[in-house]
Amino acid sequence: MDNERKAMQKRLTQMQFEQYLAAAAAPSRAAAGGEGSRFSSGEAADSASKSQPPGGAEGTPGDAGSVEALDTELARVRQQIKLAAKKSICCRVKLKKHLEHKPPSPTEGLFVREQLAGRAWEARRLQLEQNAEQGRETADQLRKQLQ
């Protein structure tokens, strides 16, 4: 499952990847809460507060079903925090390695290829910084949501 998740993360945008994680968590949630179809369609947000017990009556805050749903939701948010923090760390490591290999220094006699290499290096640096910042912000946002 871990290799599949990593391969999927490389192919998808951040939002699509979060939906993929929610869909991947659907089988375990379906066993706990009995609702798998909404999770697989990507409507995982706020599902714990909208779910009803099998009898059709609304659950009370002390109900065992609502406690299980909250535990499941907390586990999902913790997993997302862990993944966002891991993404941020990986991006910072990539950025550090990228910065160790400086582009050719600009001189008047640079060829076009060297200029393009310098621009590509700078673009990659900016992208890595942005990815690291995005991962950190996502983790911080999810931590606030968890509290």
Instruction: Give the whole-angstrom CA distance, residue 50 versus residue 44.
Output: 10
Mean pLDDT value of segment 93-108 = 76
Q: What is the mean pLDDT of residues 29-33?
A: 52
**C-alpha closest to that of 73 among 53, 88, 41, 51:** 51
> What are the sequence ranges of the domains in the chain?
87-146
pLDDT score, position 22? 72
Residue 57 and residue 117: Cα distance in Å, rounded? Answer: 64
Q: For the chain, how big is the Rg over CA atoms in Å?
A: 22
Residue 39 CB burial class (10 angstroms; 0-12, 13-18, ≥19): buried
Number of H helices, E strands in the chain: 7, 0
- Which one is predicted more confidently, 25 or 114? 114
- Is the pLDDT at 28 greater than 70? The verdict is no
For 36-69, how does the pLDDT look when each residue is reduced to its tens digit (9 = 90+)?
Answer: 444 444 444 444 444 444 444 444 555 556 788 8
CA distance 92 to 60: 45
Measured from the Cβ of residue 26, the count of other Cβ atoms closer than 10 Å reads 19
Instruction: State the pLDDT at residue 99.
Output: 83
Per cent of the chain over pLDDT 90 is 1
Question: Chain-wide mean pLDDT for the chain?
Answer: 71
Residues 21-36: what's their mean pLDDT? 58
pLDDT of residue 5: 66
The reported pLDDT for the residue numbered 65 is 64
